[in-house]
Structure 1
Amino acid sequence: MRALNENRSFSKLESLDNKLYMVIAAPLVLKDKTYVLELIKDVTEDTLFYTYKDKTIEELRDEVNRLNMLVIKDELTNVFNSRYLNEHLPVLLENLSSPEFSLSIAMADIDKFKSINDTYGHLCGDYIIKEFAKLLDSYISELGGWTCRYGGDEFICVVENIPEDELYNKLNNFKETLLRTNFVFDEKKINLSCSFGVCYLCNENINIADALNLVDSKLYNSKKTRNTIS
């Protein structure tokens, strides 16, 4: 999916039966249609990967998972990154053709984040983003969903197959907790609020660009008053 979305080649490691494989995915255009060609090579005996030779299958699988996670996790916050979003959200949107499947999506933005950076510095800004992401992800995980850092202080939350108002209610609880939380950096107490744009999708035919534009427009409305969910 990543090779198709970004129109370039990617590689990753996979393990199977105590062997290590390099998987290379590359876009291929035939008669004006783009396909993805996957090449698989056994690299178990390659010098570059020789340190993995004596590991058990469980150790090998854990190491491969760790390496693959580095590609899809945001370095600062340890939630997923936009690459993960671009790979997985289109697949979930395709599932909306099933009447039994629904998707709740939220876009979050920290209110007045620029003033925090300007007042306390970028190290404090990074700390705030990290702590905000940790708290937000803990709430979304309770619903069985996942969170990704979309860019800067913006985050996307995605949850499958929950009642229409459940994500809204959970985010409202999160928002109240956030207001009560004192974030301490360099002995300074900082209080936050945030805004959300939320959409509920069911029996929809929508692509990732339109879905993100939808929650972004709702977030834009929330930012007019701040500390709001639209």
Structure 2
Amino acid sequence: MNIGDELNLELIRDNIDILKKLYDVIRIVDPVTKKVLMYDEGKLIEKGRSCFSKIGNEQICKNCISLRALKDNKTYMKLENSDDKSYLITVMPMELEDKTLIVELIKEVTDTLFYGHSFDGKGCTVNNIIQDMKQLTIKDSLTEIANRRFIDERLPIDMNICYKSKQPISIIMVDVDHFKNVNDQFGHVAGDEVLREFAYSLKSCIRNKRDWIGRYGGEEFLVCVPGAAAEAALVIAERMKTNIEKKNFVLNGENIKITASFGICTTSDKEITVEQFLKCADQKLYDAKNAGRNRIIL
């Protein structure tokens, strides 16, 4: 016997038909058996025993508001963000024939849900607010490039993509030479300005949107070059080194020269871990600094 046989479907239709005009997806969930009915064109179609969604995979959410609605006997709402789209999900318990079901209402609100009362621009859409919040979590506030959190999340993904496509991947570890002297002589505010301009100089040398650069920590930066073998990574590092050598950094009205050391590591071995990959590049950077700085070590 399926869930449709156990309940009065006409009664359900009478209760939810008007909601179809307001939401993109309507489904009825029996939270005990996990059976699901999808409401579509006036029909209720059974969709098996596992919760599923228009967004994400067929799995129970970590924050399952349907189970919470059942437990507390309350209506709950939440915003979900997936693939650069925003969804408003409303769940409410419904008593039918001595059985408690959960009605789940899903509406895409990427461009239609606003925060506050101003409609004079796209900036007030909730989706843009969510995107801005995401940027805050992955962007270094000083240099405005990616931060360490982004590096930790993105590098394993790019390594896996390159392995699957049988492409190499290179990373370049970069460190500002004698940066402590800059801070000691000109102050930390001037040192911050050096880091900002230094990051911009590095960023201007990467190839395309696939390449990226992040602040690894302090005056150390990581450049990721997916699909690039050692020779291609070396070309990019040499371009960065030359760009920095030619640049005049103006600190307290005085022109100073900055140099940098580079360590490059390349792999196409799917067995290498992220930690080993980073350690390899860090060791090459250490070798460059020990060899006199302002140089590149492969």
> What TM-score results when the alignment is normalised by the length of structure 1?
0.75
Tell whether the 8 Å contact from 1:145 to 1:160 is kept in structure 2 after alignment.
yes
| 1:51 aligned onto 2:116 | yes
- 2:116 alignment partner, SS class: helix
3-state SS of paired residue (2:198): helix
What does the per-residue CA deviation read over 1:119-169, in whole Å, with 9 as the maximum and x for residues that have no partner? Answer: 110001000001000110111244741000011000000011124311211
Of structures 1 and 2, the one scoring higher in RCO (CA 8 A, sep 6+) is 1
Q: Distance in 2 between matches of 1:127 and 1:146?
A: 21
Per the alignment, do residues 50 and 154 of structure 1 end up closer, same or farther by CA in structure 2, a change over 3 Å counting?
Answer: same
Query: Could you tell me whether the CA contact under 8 Å between 1:104 and 1:199 is conserved in 2?
Result: yes
Q: Which runs of 4+ in 1 moved over 4 A?
A: 15-22, 52-60
TM superposition shift of 1:102:
1.6
Query: Cα–Cα, structure 1 residues 106 and 65, in superposed 2: closer, same or farther, change >3 Å?
Result: same
Task: Name the residue aligned to 2:187.
Answer: 121
- Secondary structure at 2:206 match in 1: helix
> Partner amino acid for 1:127?
E
Give the structure with the higher percent helix. Answer: 1
Q: 1:181 to 1:97 in 2, by over 3 A?
A: closer
Conserved 8 A contact 2:115-2:126:
no
Partner of 2:295: 228
The aligned residue for residue 153 of structure 2 is 87
Q: Deviations over 1:48-95 (max 9, x none)?
A: x84389686995443322221110000000100000011111122233
Coordinate RMSD, CA, aligned: 3.2
Q: 1:179 to 1:228 in 2, by over 3 A?
A: same
Please point out which of 216, 236, 239 is paired with 1:173. 239
Q: Which runs of 5+ in 2 are unaligned?
A: 1-62, 64-78, 90-105
For the residue of structure 1 that corresponds to 2:262, the secondary structure is: strand
Q: What secondary structure is seen at the aligned counterpart in 1 of 2:144?
A: coil
TM-aligned CA distance change 1:19 to 1:158, over 3 Å:
closer
What amino acid maps onto 2:178 in structure 1? K
1:104 and 1:159 map into 2 onto residues whose CA distance is 5
Percent sequence identity is 31
Counterparts of 1:140-179 in structure 2 under 5 Å? 140-142=206-208, 144-179=210-245
